[in-house]
């Protein structure tokens, strides 16, 4: 069954906004940082406009030579923001962790698979192409594994940890417990999908972490931008 005419019109309007209006707006408003916000517009994912700006600005403001860790990269929508911000500052490196197999919590998997079907190539290849197209290959190290798998042996201090992988309560909590101890004092933690709303079963892992753990005395300066929560580790 084809799309109704009004659905086609809505889709066309979204594409016009994503591929022309937003990139131009970003470049005019945010200068060099807007370049990577614009690149991100073209990449499938679930990070929205205000979240993208806040995330890019947070990474841009880190001290020299930071270690940035992203858990849940999919095909690079957020990775472009993270690495682009550090390239502009001239230092740092971004570790992107994802199994690149469209796996995850039960609610998310159908959405991942739907996007993956758009191109008949492995997701890690699609990710690498997006990073290369933005000129960021030298700034990104991809880890083809789950957050839990990498986290078990992780030992490097982290300046900013961005969690957007497995959203299940168990998977999200395990990943957090592995990586959060390595966030430096004064470093940042960012979690996606944390707004006050009704969640589908098994899809509220990051929301639960924010309610249970992202609070004083362990964290300060906690704030949320749409679905994304930011905090500094004490």
DSSP state of 222: E
For 96-152, write each residue's pLDDT tens digit: 999 999 999 999 999 999 999 999 899 999 999 999 999 999 999 999 999 999 999
What number is the average pLDDT over the span 183-200? 97
For 4-52, write each residue's pLDDT tens digit: 556 667 766 666 666 577 777 888 888 889 999 999 988 999 999 899 9
Angle between helices 205-212 and 169-179 (to 10 degrees): 50
Question: From the DSSP assignment, how many helices (H) and strands (E) are in the chain?
Answer: 10, 7
Spatial CA neighbour of 95 closest among 47, 139, 53 = 139
pLDDT-based confidence at residue 194 (cuts at 50, 70, 90): very high
Which residues 6+ apart lie within 8 Å of 28 measured at CB? Answer: 34
**Pairing label, strands 67-71, 140-144:** unpaired
The pLDDT of residue 1: 41
Share of the chain above pLDDT 70, in %: 92
> Look-up: residue for tokens 């993270």?
82
Do the Cβ atoms of 84 and 35 come closer than 8 Å? Answer: yes
Terminus-to-terminus CA distance in the chain, angstroms?
54
Do the Cβ atoms of 136 and 80 come closer than 8 Å? Answer: yes
The pLDDT of residue 2: 45
Q: Which of 28-32, 74-78, 89-93, 205-209 has the lowest mean pLDDT?
A: 28-32
The pLDDT of residue 18: 61
């Amino acid at each position: 069954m084809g799309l109704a005419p009004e659905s086609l019109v809505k889709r066309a309007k979204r594409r016009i906004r994503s591929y022309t209006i937003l990139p131009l707006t970003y470049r005019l408003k945010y200068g060099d940082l807007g370049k990577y916000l614009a690149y991100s517009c073209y990449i499938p994912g679930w990070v929205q406009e205000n979240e993208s700006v806040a995330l890019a600005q947070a990474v841009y403001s880190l001290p020299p030579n930071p270690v940035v860790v992203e858990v849940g990269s999919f095909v690079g929508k957020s990775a472009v923001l993270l690495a682009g911000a550090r390239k502009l500052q001239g230092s740092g490196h971004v570790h992107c962790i994802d199994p690149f197999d469209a796996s995850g919590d039960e609610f998310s998997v159908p959405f991942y698979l739907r996007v993956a079907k758009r191109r008949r190539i492995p997701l890690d290849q699609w990710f690498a192409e997006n990073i290369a197209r933005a000129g960021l290959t030298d700034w990104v190290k991809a880890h083809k594994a789950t957050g839990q798998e990498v986290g078990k042996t992780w030992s490097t201090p982290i300046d900013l940890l961005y969690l957007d992988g497995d959203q299940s309560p168990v998977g999200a909590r395990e990943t957090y417990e592995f990586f959060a101890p390595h966030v430096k004092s004064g470093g940042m933690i960012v979690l996606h999908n944390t707004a006050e709303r009704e969640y589908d079963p098994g899809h509220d892992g990051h929301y639960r972490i924010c309610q249970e753990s992202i609070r004083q005395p362990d964290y300060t300066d906690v704030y949320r931008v749409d679905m994304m929560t930011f905090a500094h580790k004490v």
